[in-house]
Amino acid sequence: MSVVDTGEVPTDALGRRVSCSGERGTVWFVGTVPPTEGLWLGVEWDNPLRGKHNGTHEGVQYFKCTHPNGGSFIRPKKASFGVHYVTAIRELYADLGREVSAVDKDETISMFVKRLNSLQVVSLRMKEVCASGSGDDIKTITPHVRCLDLGGTLLGSWDDVADITQHMERLQQLLLCYSRLRLPSDPLARRHAFSGLKILSLQNCALTWPQILQCAPMWPHLEELYVKNNAITQLQRPGGVLESLKLLDLSCNQMAEDSVLSLSQLPRLNNLNLSKTGLSALRFNDVPPGCKTSMFPVLKTLLLNHNKISEWCAVNELDKLQSLSELSFRYNPVQSLVKNLQTADMMLISKLGQLSILNKCQITPPDRRSAELVYLKIFGEAWLQAGGHRGPEQSRPSTQFTSEHPRYQSLIDKYGPPDDSELKEEQPYALRNQLMNITFVCPGKADQKPIVKKLPDSMLVQKVKGLLYRLLKVPGTQLQLSYTSAKIQGTEIVIDNDQKCLNFYSIEDGDTVLVRWA
């Protein structure tokens, strides 16, 4: 590949990447455009807002664009075709040479190279790198690189990237965000250039899933793949590639939800990001409700934020995942069916029995216990009406109820069925702002009499501590709260989160809150 100064046109300009006023694009035409005189470059811009047309001028089609207004003509003098990798490195780290400029020339060069040799992380993001240059120079100048960022450069193909990385034997992490790379001429022949690669970022590269799979043979030991915000709409089974993949980020791609199951047999995939993908459900129809699917056998972490999940039965499906322990599930329509996000979190915790982390927060045993008790109460009346009975031998809940609440029976086995006094009269998914008589007792403070207060069950623990500060003159930060209930005698439950409501801990009318401080 020839590299020339700005204003000159390389002989291989067609298909080359160029930079102009901070924008990146690909040259698809070189020639005259009558009635104007002189040479023009027809460029398709990465950012279609930079363009003016689709490659047509006065009825003549000079080149074609993916976007109808993604192209324009520019004069060659306005375009930069870039520089070699080694040139870019030397320009970027020129200050290393200046630091030793007082020494004689030979020693300056030696010290400069020595400093570069020690680099393990090199970032040339948005620099105008277009080709590798001398392989020997790459080996000499950056032999120890483990992380390389070539995002937004002027590299035009995977072959160009491989010409650089094949000289970096220790490379483990490669970032190529905002790139437009032609597919490799022979992926297997380029395998040695990425043999140690474990982490690859291809965000915002306009790639389809078939194109990614076509490149995948080059990455035999890849563990993390980030392909956020590409052109991925339909997933296909990897078929012998990506076998080492542990993390896959597919966020911000509008995909057909059924095609997600094409990834289900990746043997090591334990972290999957499907946020902002337009999903309304993930269905594992190989097993009935309450059973574990063989799909995604080791998947532990799943991100589903900002999707279109609008029914709780879709959450039931997630409980079929045998290894799921961490879920991010914010900004889905189903959460609007309940009173607040805290209630939604309780529903999620109750429906997903193996979950230990929800929305980046650890689920403590008291969290789970409180959520599951509230869940039992909310749907207790519906359970009875569906054929449930407090006598196990007489309990025959309908198929519809058990399908909608597959964990309900296991919760009854764990805590026992809710009695009449515990049943909620309100409609499902609605928790009324009930007032409760709470007795505050201060163990170890014999001179402090019990205090009875009527409080709403939606009151934050933080505000309860504020109330106690006014009553006891003890700063809220020093207060340690727990509670006991006549229904669970002998058990003291810690209230350990100031941002939770009283109803999160299943505190009820008549319960006693124990107040301690140093």
3 state SS of 370: helix
Q: What is the pLDDT along the chain (518 residues), one digit of tens a residue?
A: 443 333 578 888 898 999 998 899 999 999 999 999 999 999 999 998 999 999 999 999 999 998 899 999 999 999 999 999 999 998 887 755 454 444 444 544 555 566 677 789 999 999 999 999 887 889 888 889 999 999 999 999 999 999 999 999 999 999 999 999 999 989 999 999 999 999 999 999 999 999 999 999 999 999 999 999 999 999 999 999 999 999 999 999 999 989 999 999 999 999 999 999 999 999 999 999 999 999 999 999 999 999 999 999 999 999 999 999 999 999 999 998 887 788 899 999 999 999 999 999 999 999 999 999 999 999 999 999 999 998 989 999 999 999 999 999 999 999 999 877 666 544 444 444 578 999 999 998 888 999 999 999 888 898 999 899 889 888 877 899 999 887 766 778 889 888 888 888 888 889 999 999 87
* CATH ID of 295-427, from 1.25.40, 3.80.10, 3.40.50, 3.20.170: 3.80.10
pTM: 0.77
Residues spanned by CATH 2.30.30.190 within the chain?
Answer: 17-78
Q: Is 242 exposed, middle or buried (0-12, 13-18, 19+ CB in 10 A)?
A: buried
Q: Output the pLDDT for position 2.
A: 40
Q: Output the pLDDT for position 118.
A: 78
d(CA 445, CA 443): 5
Phi/psi of residue 451, each to 5°? -120, 125
A 10 A CB-CB count for 184 gives 21
Q: Output the pLDDT for position 421.
A: 63
What residue type is 244 in one-letter code? Answer: S
Tokens of 482: 């727990």
Residues spanned by CATH 3.80.10.10 within the chain?
Answer: 83-294
Residues spanned by CATH 3.10.20.90 within the chain?
Answer: 435-516
Q: Output the pLDDT for position 76.
A: 93
Q: What CATH architecture is 83-294?
A: Alpha-Beta Horseshoe (3.80)
The answer to whether residues 314 and 344 touch, using CB atoms and an 8 Å cutoff, is no
Q: Output the pLDDT for position 433.
A: 54
d(CA 312, CA 281): 10
d(CA 290, CA 517): 44
Q: Please give the CATH topology (third level) of the domain spanning 17-78.
A: SH3 type barrels. (2.30.30)
CATH 3.40.50.300 fits 435-516, yes or no: no
Q: Output the pLDDT for position 517.
A: 87
Q: Output the pLDDT for position 425.
A: 46
